[in-house]
């Protein structure tokens, strides 16, 4: 049996050929599998991996059903698709209608085919609708907590504290300024107390005080 390289290089342009169970079409120096272009080396690797006797099988399109689903679980339609090209077309339909794509195994019961559980989500349809999961990681990262205003120096900090204290004092004095002695800084708790204070401490001002009340 000739090597894969020889078989591929001898392909006629535009004429697909089944090589080890993989349908390959050559167009000049590119090789197409399910209408996806590959280099010669990439085509050889694909056939070795997915062809008959390869390390792994390709997607088993002939034994699964595809479902278009409206979230969370309403089945809109079911589909049997042949290859990757049809798969991509179904994903585009799902994207245009904002639907999810699921696939599942099928079994024949009483001459009819039925889907089986579990349904498996096709994550390509998720990316089509919402973008890659990395977007969500960035979007929902916790936002940094707000930082306290940086104080330039200890002196500035002390000046701010003094300003606050003085403001509080002014507010307190403003609230009880009617009970302060008009002739000194003495503060009284009541009007009678202030009158007694003026009479005893400022007797020469007492008459003036009485007139000002």
What sign has the CA pseudo-torsion 204, 206, 207, 208?
Answer: positive
Of 204 and 131, the structure prediction assigns the larger pLDDT to 204
pLDDT at 173: 47
Give the span between the Cα atoms of 33 and 125, in whole angstroms. 21
Give this prediction's pTM: 0.39
Residues 68 and 135 in one domain: yes
Q: 75 in a domain, yes or no?
A: yes
- Residue 35 forms part of a structural domain: yes
The pLDDT score that the predictor gives to residue 162 is: 55
The mean per-residue pLDDT over the stretch 39-61 comes to 74
Give the mean pLDDT of 104-114.
81
What is the radius of gyration, based on Cα positions, of the chain?
44
Q: What is the DSSP string of 24-87?
A: EEEETTEEEETTEEE-HHHHHHHHHHHSTTSSS----GGGEEEEEEETTTEEEEEE---SHHHH
What's the pLDDT band for 137 if we cut at 50, 70, 90?
A: low
99 within a domain of the structure (yes/no): yes
**What pLDDT was estimated at residue 138?**
54
Q: 145 versus 206: which is more confidently predicted?
A: 206
Q: Among 115, 139, 163, where does a domain finish?
A: 139
Assess if residue 144 is contained within a domain: no
**What average pLDDT does the structure give for the chain?**
76
Q: Are residues 85 and 118 in the same domain?
A: yes
Residues 159 and 193 in one domain: yes
Where is pLDDT greater, at 177 or 46? 46
pLDDT in tens, 155-192: 555 555 555 555 555 544 444 445 678 888 777 777 87
- Verify that 65 and 134 share a domain, yes or no: yes
What pLDDT is stored for residue 22 in this prediction? 85
* Residue 145 maps to a domain: no
Model pLDDT, residue 1: 43
Domain co-membership, 66 together with 127: yes
Written as six digits, the tokens of 186 are 């003495």
Q: What are phi and psi of 101, to 5 degrees?
A: -110, 130
- Do 97 and 30 share a structural domain? no
What pLDDT shows up at residue 171? 47
**160/207 same-domain check:** yes
Kindly state whether residue 146 falls inside one of the protein's structural domains: no
- Asked if residue 126 and residue 74 are part of one domain, the reply reads yes
Residues 70 and 135 in one domain: yes
- Say yes or no: 131 and 159 in one domain: no
| Total number of domains constituting the chain | 3
| Domain assignment of residue 200, given as a range | 154-212
Domain assignment present for residue 20? The answer is yes
HSE at residue 100, side-chain half, CA atoms within 13 A, is: 16
Query: Is 180 part of a structural domain of the chain?
Result: yes
Mean pLDDT of 9-23: 87
Q: Residue 19 above 80 pLDDT?
A: yes
């Amino acid at each position: 049996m000739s090597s894969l390289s020889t078989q591929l290089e001898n392909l006629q342009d535009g004429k697909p050929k089944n090589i080890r169970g993989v349908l390959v079409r050559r167009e000049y120096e590119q090789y197409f599998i399910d209408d996806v272009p590959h280099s010669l080396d990439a085509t050889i690797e694909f056939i070795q991996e997915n062809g008959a006797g390869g390390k792994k099988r390709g997607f088993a399109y002939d034994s699964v059903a595809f479902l278009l689903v409206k979230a969370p679980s309403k089945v809109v339609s079911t589909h049997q698709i042949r290859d990757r090209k049809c798969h991509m077309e179904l994903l585009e339909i799902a994207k245009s209608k904002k639907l999810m794509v699921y696939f599942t195994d099928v079994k024949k019961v009483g001459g009819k085919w039925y889907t089986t559980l579990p349904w498996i989500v096709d994550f390509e349809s998720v990316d089509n609708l919402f973008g890659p999961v990395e977007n969500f990681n960035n979007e929902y990262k916790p936002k940094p907590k707000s930082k306290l205003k940086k104080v330039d120096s200890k002196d500035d900090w002390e000046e701010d504290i003094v300003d606050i204290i003085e403001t509080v004092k002014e507010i307190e004095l403003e609230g009880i300024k009617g009970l302060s002695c008009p002739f000194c800084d003495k503060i009284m708790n009541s009007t009678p107390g202030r009158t007694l204070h003026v009479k005893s401490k400022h007797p020469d001002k007492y008459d003036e005080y009485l007139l000002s009340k």
